[in-house]
Amino acid sequence: MPDHHNPLLLLTTGLFAGALLAIAIQRLKPKPRKEDIRSGIEECIGNTPLIRIKSLSNATGCEILGKAEFLEPGGSIKDRVALNIIKTAEGQGLLRPYSGDVVYEGTVGSTGVSLAMLCRARGYLAHICMPNDQSLEKSSLLLKLGAALTTTSPAPIVSPTHFVNLARTLSTTHPTLPSSTPSSHGYFANQFETPYNFAAHYTTTGPEIFSQCGGRLSAFVSGAGTGGTLSGVAAYLKSQDPKIKIVLADPQGSGLYNKIKHGVLFSPTEKEGTRRRSQVDTIVEGIGLNRLTHNFSLGRPLISDAIRVSDEEALAMARFLVEKDGLFLGSSSAVNCFAAVKLAMELGPGHRIVTILCDSGTRHLSKFWKGMEVGASWDMEIGDVLGASKIRRFSDGARHNREQVPAGLKNEEFAA
């Protein structure tokens, strides 16, 4: 019979119980967590979610995924390009932080916003050249980000007054801005032709998509403005799996569709006898061109097909995504998603298709989204989207919105 009054036994038992209690308490203590702190807004760029678009996936039997680039800190996929251009220039000694150096770029869209944001973050000034008839949202945002803004009348790309050419000229003459220093440099970002655009997507967007898909995807679909996204992502994906299909999504009036389909850069609006002052009659901004850029040419051999999307189809898709998924997207994203659905129908159920959700609809309120209502008494179905060109309400809406597009502009004026 054990002696419960034995001092040694009591001491041993107490020590053992105390040790067990200490172990239990230690296990209950929260483990030190790994810190996840970003050094500045630059380190917030990239690694955006890949979203399963439920309505489109359910309607087609394919898994349609959208890379949510509208969640970038600057609001669009152009953050990646702007950051890579700036960092590469810094590495080459062409830009020096807090020295008064100025980054010049010709743009009517998201690239200017991304550059303006990052220039402020990294100690530079941004000088943006754009046509004088663009939406108030874009010019206001650029000014609020502290960018210098020069506007110019719409002109063809061969003209010295075209906004891209004007930016190039200003970068070489580098007029002194109020906050510049006499020794400051001017740097032309040159998003359409610089290989750093392509490289941004080859090294970040493409690898992210492939990893997020676990290496399993059937096709990648995207529009092309500068061509950097489509070419860079395509090159990376093809290097990992040559069977992945690369498809161009192209708005009406752009010549890239015919370049892929028939080998000739040609738009129906350029037919003999139908040539008009406005060669690209579309409300879609950010994608589509009637000229070849270096960035597009880099990926041209990898593109196996092209899908043309009308204004009515883009408008219908944009509304459908709001009503069914709560996704409020811009015009180029709507084109991408429509093309993804068309490709899903061609491939048949069971495939995985990835596209880009380039930016949100907040920068497209005064043009693309103007006059379009969501909800009301019409419960849309996917058939309404696919047959949108024949539906009166979208035809009227597209014509109404297209009136906002000034005559004389080619689609490159709306790209990037």
Report the distance separating Cα 29 and Cα 51, nearest Å.
36
Q: Closest Cα partner for 286 from 132, 151, 135, 122? A: 135
Q: Cβ distance 336 to 357 under 8 Å?
A: yes
Alpha-carbon distances, residue 18 vs 6, 14, 23, 25, 26 (angstroms): 18, 6, 9, 10, 12
Distance CA 108, CA 412 (A): 10
Phi and psi at residue 115, to the nearest 5°:
-65, -40
Strand 63-68 relative to strand 50-52, pairing: antiparallel
Q: What is the 3-state secondary structure (H, E, C) of 83-97?
A: HHHHHHHHHCCCCCC
- The tokens describing 199, both together, are 């490289």
Q: Which entry of 67, 78, 367, 410 is annotated as an active-site residue?
A: 78
Sort strands 219-222 and 352-357 into parallel, antiparallel or unpaired. parallel
d(CA 248, CA 231): 10
Cross-strand pairs, 309? 251
| Angle, vertex CA 108, rays to CA 103 and CA 110, nearest 5 | 75
C-alpha 388/C-alpha 394 separation (Å) is 6
Determine how many CB atoms are found less than 10 A away from the CB of residue 402.
14
Closest CA to 247 of 238, 236, 235, 234: 234
Q: How far apart are CA 33 and CA 31, in angstroms?
A: 6
Contact 246, 299 (CB under 8 A): yes
Catalytic site residue 78?
Answer: yes
DSSP per residue, 166-177:
HHHHHHHH-PPP
Give me the amino acid identity at 99. Answer: S
Q: How far apart are CA 359 and CA 336, in angstroms?
A: 12
Task: Give the active site residues.
Answer: 78
